[in-house]
Chain A
Amino acid sequence: MKKILASLCTIFLFSNIVTSAKAEINFLIGTWAEEPLTPFVEAFEKETGIEVNIQTFPFRDLLATIEVRGNAQADDVDVIFVDAPLVPSYAVRGMIGPMDQYFADTSVNAIFAPAGIAAASWNGEMYAPPLNNSGQLTYYNKDLLAKAGCAEPSMIEAERVTWEEIVDCAKKITDEANGVHGFIFDQISRYYQLQALPESAGGGSGVCEGGLSVKGCLTNDGWMKAGQFYYDIHNTSNISPKGVGPDQTHELFGLGKIGIFVGGSWNNGRWADTDLNYGVALHPYFEGGKVVTGCNSWHIGVWNYSKQKDDAAKLVRYLTASPEVAIHYVEEHNSLPAHNSAILHVAEDPKFNNFPGIVMNLATYESANHCATRGRTPGFLEFEEIVNTSFEDIRNGGDPASVFADAESRIESSMRRYK
Chain B
Amino acid sequence: MNFFKRQWMVPYLFLAPALIGTIAFKLYPIFIGFWESLIYTSFSGGAEKRIFVWFENYQYLFDDKIFWKSLEITAFLTIIINPLQIAMSLGLALLLMRKSKFIRIIRSLYLLPIGIALPIATIIWGLMLDPNQGLINGLIGVFGIPPQPFLVSENQALWCIIAIATWKGVAFWMLFLLAGLEDIPKQYFEAAEIDGATPFQKFRYVTIPQLKRTILFVFVADTAANFVLMVPMIILTKGGPLQSTNVLIYEGYRSGFYYQDWGRSLSIVTILTVITLIVIGLQLLFLSEKNEGIKVK
Let me know if B259 and A64 touch, CB within 8 A. Answer: no
Partner of A393 from the list B149, B241, B257, B261 (CB cut-off 8 Å) is B241
A419 surroundings in chain B (CB, below 8 A): 44
* In the assembled complex, B41 has its CB within 8 A of some CB on chain A: yes
* In the assembled complex, B252 has its CB within 8 A of some CB on chain A: no
Partner of B260 from the list A179, A382, A398, A403 (CB cut-off 8 Å) is A382
The answer for the CA separation of A344 and B154 in the assembled complex, in Å, is: 50
Let me know if B153 and A396 touch, CB within 8 A. Answer: yes
Closest 7 CB pairs of A and B: A396-B241, A243-B131, A382-B259, A243-B152, A393-B242, A385-B258, A398-B242
Q: B43, B44, B131 — which one has the most chain A CB atoms within 10 A of its CB?
A: B43
Let me know if A389 and B43 touch, CB within 8 A. Answer: no
CB distance from A340 to the nearest CB of B (A): 31
Partner of A398 from the list B43, B48, B241, B261 (CB cut-off 8 Å) is B241
Q: Which residue of B lies closest to A123 (CB)?
A: B46
Within 8 A of A (CB), among B105-151: 130-132, 149, 151
Q: B242, B243, B257 — which one has the most chain A CB atoms within 10 A of its CB?
A: B242
Let me know if A389 and B132 touch, CB within 8 A. Answer: no
B46-72 near A? 1/0 per residue, CB < 8 Å: 111000000000001000111000000
Partner of B257 from the list A67, A241, A396, A398 (CB cut-off 8 Å) is A67
* In the assembled complex, B239 has its CB within 8 A of some CB on chain A: yes
A14 surroundings in chain B (CB, below 8 A): none
Partner of A244 from the list B66, B132, B153, B154 (CB cut-off 8 Å) is B132
A417 surroundings in chain B (CB, below 8 A): 40-44, 261
Let me know if A396 and B152 touch, CB within 8 A. Answer: yes
* In the assembled complex, A68 has its CB within 8 A of some CB on chain B: yes
B153 surroundings in chain A (CB, below 8 A): 396-397
14 contacts between A and B (CB under 8 A): A71-B262, A179-B132, A242-B152, A243-B130, A382-B260, A389-B238, A392-B240, A396-B152, A397-B154, A398-B241, A410-B66, A414-B261, A417-B44, A419-B44
A393 surroundings in chain B (CB, below 8 A): 240-243
Let me know if A94 and B48 touch, CB within 8 A. Answer: yes
The answer for the CA separation of A328 and B60 in the assembled complex, in Å, is: 50
A69 surroundings in chain B (CB, below 8 A): none
Chain B contact residues: helix, strand, loop or mixed: loop
A397 surroundings in chain B (CB, below 8 A): 153-154, 241-242
A68 surroundings in chain B (CB, below 8 A): 257
CB distance from A23 to the nearest CB of B (A): 29
The answer for the CA separation of A287 and B101 in the assembled complex, in Å, is: 74
Let me know if A92 and B241 touch, CB within 8 A. Answer: no
Let me know if A414 and B259 touch, CB within 8 A. Answer: yes
B152 surroundings in chain A (CB, below 8 A): 242-243, 396
- Given A242-B131, A392-B238, decide whether A385 and B259 contact each other with a Cβ distance below 8 A: yes
The answer for the CA separation of A414 and B66 in the assembled complex, in Å, is: 13
- Given A64-B257, A243-B131, A397-B241, decide whether A378 and B43 contact each other with a Cβ distance below 8 A: yes
A410 surroundings in chain B (CB, below 8 A): 66
The answer for the CA separation of A96 and B122 in the assembled complex, in Å, is: 36
A25-53 near B? 1/0 per residue, CB < 8 Å: 00000000000000000000000000000
- Given A242-B149, A382-B258, A382-B259, decide whether A389 and B130 contact each other with a Cβ distance below 8 A: no
CB distance from B239 to the nearest CB of A (A): 7
